Chain A
Amino acid sequence: MSLELQQLEFNYPDQGFAFSLPGIVIHPGECVAIVGPSGSGKTTLLNLVAGILTPIEGNVTLNGLNLSALDTRCRRLHRLRHMGMIFQSFELLDYLDVRDNVLLQARLCSEITVDDALEERARNIVTELGLHGKWRRNIQTLSQGERQRVAVCRALLLDPVLVLADEPSGNLDPANKLAVLNRLVDDCKQRQRILLTVTHDHSLLTTFDRVIDIAALAENLVSTV
């Protein structure tokens, strides 16, 4: 039930960007922050883990399944079913209400049927994250903090083994960013999920079990808080 990154190599030839990473193992329930300067490859690493990008060399293994060996379709389906993704700008659909945004990933997944049970589960997650009473509210009527919490609900709905968060608190005020992150970390601990978060905000690093400085990692340096 772990995430293993084995000697990953990737490049964007037209942009002169090259990325090389030694082996990393992240265990269930572990919350990891990835830091590093702009352009160091933090988001690229998340995309490699998610299976959106394919490494030139090396493997991404989740629960013993080598994602890098799968074709694009299988990687996509695996991502849809077993991963939750949270983005800096929330990436919610403005024409959907809270309920439908939370259920979006489930609706795209052919293995999942959106039935009453799933809807009840979605409603419970929404309530747990403090959005009680906003169930049928349109996204545009919510505050920034509320929107990010909806994005977190969407990522957690299908009980993913891996949550990937790209600057999840980047657009939030200090009070909201800590609240959202604490909820996320607590949930991952409680349900033994792996949380991999890209962040620029060093004030939040104490929340995580481990911090990986991607620039230092290139020189085989891994720091643990």
Chain B
Amino acid sequence: MNDLFYLSWQYIRHHKNKLLILIFAITLVIWLPIAIKSVVDQTAAQLLDRANNTPLVIGAPGSPLELALGSLYFRTQTPATLTFDELNNVEATGYASAIPLYYRFNAQGHPIVGTNPEYLKYRQLQFAKGRPVALLGEAVLGADVARKLNLTVGDFVVSSPENVFDISGVYPLKMTVVGILKPAFSPDDQAVFVDIKTSWVIQGLGHGHQDLNNESAIGQVLKKDGSNIVANASVVQYNEITPENIASFHFHGDYSQYPVSAIIPVARNKKSAALLIGHYREDRESVQILRSERVIAELLDTVVTVRNYIFIGITAVGLATCVIALLVFLLSLRLRHGERFTLARIGASQWQIYLLMATEISSVLLVSACLSILLVLATQRFGIQVLQQLILT
């Protein structure tokens, strides 16, 4: 028996290239449909989980899908905004407390989320290092951001300009990292969290500059009218908020009119949630409230439909591959006809000959099946992360 397996092994070794191609093709055919189903199911579960944990979202009128994806995943280019005043309106109903989100900017591809300390508590995010944001210009990094940018507490993270060709646009703001979050295996791992006022500073709604009342700035003042001072462009603007210059940072205008991308209302109970939905649907037309679970479920319906089409395509390719593999096996058996004849004449039994011939087929199928199982396990373990990395890069 060992001698037969030895001979079979010699055959496999000699024809390794042919067999490797076959194994590759069959493994793909087995693995692909299972991998796609696994990844889609895991993605769906993650999407629904995030949506279930964020039942309601309030945002500007427009695409519910964009609002849901923006508020849950911070993935939107230029989100429509509502005013900060809406936060007070939500709390004034008495049905819910409100968490603001402003996710217009990013730092080296990672979304900067302007919010308040309640957001971290709401998501049950824990600190691996450092502390929450306490001052203007401080930032807390999601676990993936810290790892990818190789940053730790005390380092700096710089916001990216929205458009490098717009010289009157948003300037980079250098922010101090004061905390690193533990991995939450959610989009929060990819985000840079700052106080919402810091995100307004990034936008230029608030700023800090040298003191124009000081005598040293007299040459830069163009006009002085009571508390209003008009200066020329040589005034030094701060692109970093430090203990020395934080007092000079100030906002012009009314906070209540400043922008937010979305508001997460945290309803006191289900009844309050229902009443809040009713309130917004009946009385307010300038904002929309949505049940994120429903929006995500509709998105998943589309994804599942696409998956089914992919399945049909893969099944057709799989059938073709199986037929080709069968043809290869049959041709191989035909090519080995002389070998079978020789072995029989020398004195090999039919059983020995069948075993030798079957080893090629069974080894290909066995190795393909083992590889497929390994790949499926790897896909179930790492598929989502790899897919997210591919999409993000």
Contacts and interface: CB of A to CB of B under 8 A. Distances in A.
Given A107-B4, A107-B6, A108-B3, A80 B346 contact: yes
B343 interface: yes
A109 B11 contact: no
A96 B345 contact: no
B7 interface: yes
A213 B271 CA distance: 110
A108 B347 CA distance: 8
Contacts of B348: 80, 108
A104 interface: yes
Given A76-B347, A77-B347, A114-B3, A108 B14 contact: no
Contacts of B6: 107
Given A91-B338, A93-B339, A94-B14, A107 B7 contact: yes
Contacts of A91: 338, 341-342, 345
Interface in A193-224: none
A42 interface: no
Interface string A127-153: 000000000000000000000000000
Interface residues of B, number: 21
Given A76-B349, A77-B347, A87-B342, A96 B10 contact: yes
Contacts of B344: 52
B15 interface: yes
B10 A85 contact: no
Contact of B347 (A93, A95, A96, A105): A105
B27 to A, nearest CB: 23
Interface in B1-50: 3-4, 6-7, 10-11, 13-15
B288 interface: no
B350 to A, nearest CB: 9
A93 B349 CA distance: 17
Contacts of A96: 7, 10, 14
A100 interface: yes
A104 B6 CA distance: 11
B7 A85 contact: no
B15 A95 contact: yes
B346 A85 contact: yes
Chain B interface helix/strand/loop/mixed = helix
B352 interface: yes
A79 interface: yes
Contact of B11 (A50, A85, A87, A95): A95
Interface in A96-112: 96, 100, 104-105, 107-109
Nearest to B3: A107
Interface string A47-78: 00010100000000000000000000100110
Nearest to A52: B345
A10 B345 CA distance: 19
Given A95-B11, A100-B10, A108-B3, A85 B345 contact: yes
A109 B347 contact: yes
Contacts of A80: 346-348
B13 to A, nearest CB: 8
A85 B346 CA distance: 7
B287 to A, nearest CB: 75
Contacts of A50: 345
B338 A100 contact: no
Given A52-B345, A100-B10, A108 B352 contact: yes
A95 B14 contact: yes
A104 B11 contact: no
A96 B356 CA distance: 13
Interface-central residue, B11, B344, B345, by most chain A CB under 10 Å:
B345
A73 B349 CA distance: 8
Contacts of A109: 347
A100 B8 CA distance: 12
Contact of B10 (A81, A95, A105): A95
Nearest to B1: A110
Contacts of B4: 107
B292 to A, nearest CB: 62
Contacts of B10: 95-96, 100
B347 A79 contact: yes
Contacts of B341: 91
Contacts of B347: 76-77, 79-81, 83, 105, 108-109
30 contacts: A50-B345, A52-B345, A77-B347, A79-B347, A81-B347, A85-B345, A85-B346, A91-B341, A91-B342, A91-B345, A93-B7, A93-B342, A94-B14, A95-B13, A95-B14, A95-B15, A96-B7, A96-B10, A100-B7, A104-B7, A104-B346, A107-B4, A107-B7, A108-B3, A108-B343, A108-B347, A108-B348, A108-B352, A109-B347, A114-B3
The 9 closest A-B pairs by CB, nearest first: A80-B347, A95-B14, A107-B3, A91-B342, A79-B347, A108-B348, A95-B11, A76-B347, A105-B346
Given A76-B349, A108-B348, 19 more contacts: A77-B347, A79-B347, A80-B348, A91-B338, A91-B342, A94-B14, A95-B11, A95-B14, A95-B15, A96-B7, A100-B7, A100-B10, A104-B7, A105-B346, A107-B7, A108-B3, A108-B346, A109-B347, A114-B3
